[in-house]
Amino acid sequence: MKTSIVVVVLLLSATVAGFYWLPQGDLVISQSDPLSSQPDYYREPIAATPMHARINQSATFRGASPDGRLQVLNGALMVNRDLKRWMDFYLSSVGEFSIEEITEFMEAEMRTLPAPADQQALDLLNKYLAYLDDISRYDEVSGRKINGADLAGLTARMEWLEDLRRVYFADATIAAFFGDDEALDRYSLERMRLAQSGDTEAMQQLEKELPLHLRVAREKARAIETSQSLRDSIDDPEALWQARKEQFGEAAADRLAILDAERQQWQARLTDYHDFLERNSAKQNFDELAEAYRAENFSVVEQKRIDAALQARSAQIPESSAISPLPHEEELAAD
């Protein structure tokens, strides 16, 4: 299994979640998130393996909560976007860990599930890893990369992916894992074709034919992109508030202004903590001093994210990409 599998994982990671249930033998196929109303359907698996501590303290995952989750309903595995996101989350550490180490960790977690969900999860993981490996080898051999490819090459790759999914997975699993991806792929390629022909009317109609939840997700993506662009281009707070008001409305502009102030306070507190660590780095009781400072100046939730936030600052990762205890901007921009 090649380490380039991580690239495939990131390309195929989930973006939005729909809502429906489909039967597939003994599996439960779902694209919903039942946790808010039916918490008994979920049990957190905890695998006591040597890899567990290494994973949690790694640079990739330190301070981060797992994306996605393993879920069980009446003993059967729930196959949904959460499950796919859970696998992709841990596979994203390939490079810091070997694919064999990550696979061992995920398999140990899956074995903590009740029967028959444990074996169902293991079987699906093996299929998913083989599927990703096939994609990696296809891209290496054919050179059909997404970036810079022409419309014909992109179409060929999309059709190959759709065929490959149907070799490895049942239709219900494909709908749960890849339904939105395939809809967006077909939309994007058709939009490219129409753009080349200059048929703007057909492009507008094509947008209307997208499923509603995908249209909403695209609008949210546009909103956050616009908000970030405004923040990057306007330094004056009053002018920024006015621009946001015109774009999103007064209430959203107020919420985003509050978020700006919270971000500034958070960054100032991180700076103070960083300076404290620098001043005390040579002391023998450094660890005790750092722990006491964190307990006094940060909440329990914030403490889990401090290391990742400091790492993001030192690596000069853009603020929007860094792990943060603050609300998501697209939620604040939505009326």
Helix axes 81-91, 99-110, angle to 10 degrees: 140
SS3 72: strand
Of the spans 76-85, 249-258, 318-327, which averages the highest pLDDT? 76-85
Q: How many residues belong to the chain?
A: 335
Predicted structure pTM score: 0.56
Task: Please tell me the predicted confidence (pLDDT) of residue 62.
Answer: 59
For residue range 107-132, what is the model confidence (pLDDT) as tens digits?
Answer: 999 999 999 999 999 999 999 999 99
Distance CA 145, CA 84 (A): 22
Q: Which residues pair with 72 in a beta bridge?
A: 77
CA distance 318 to 224: 14
**Average pLDDT in the 304-309 region?**
78
pLDDT digits (tens, 9 = 90+) for 4-46: 454 444 444 433 333 233 334 445 444 444 333 343 445 555 5
Cβ–Cβ under 8 Å, residues 42 and 71? yes
Lowest-confidence region among 83-92, 116-125, 236-245, 323-332: 323-332
Angle at 283 between CA 277 and CA 285, to 5 degrees: 95
pLDDT for 50 equals 66
Q: Which residue has the tokens 């640079």?
A: 59
Whole-Å CA distances, 69 to 171, 172, 226:
22, 19, 31
pLDDT band at 308 (very low <50, low <70, confident <90, very high): confident
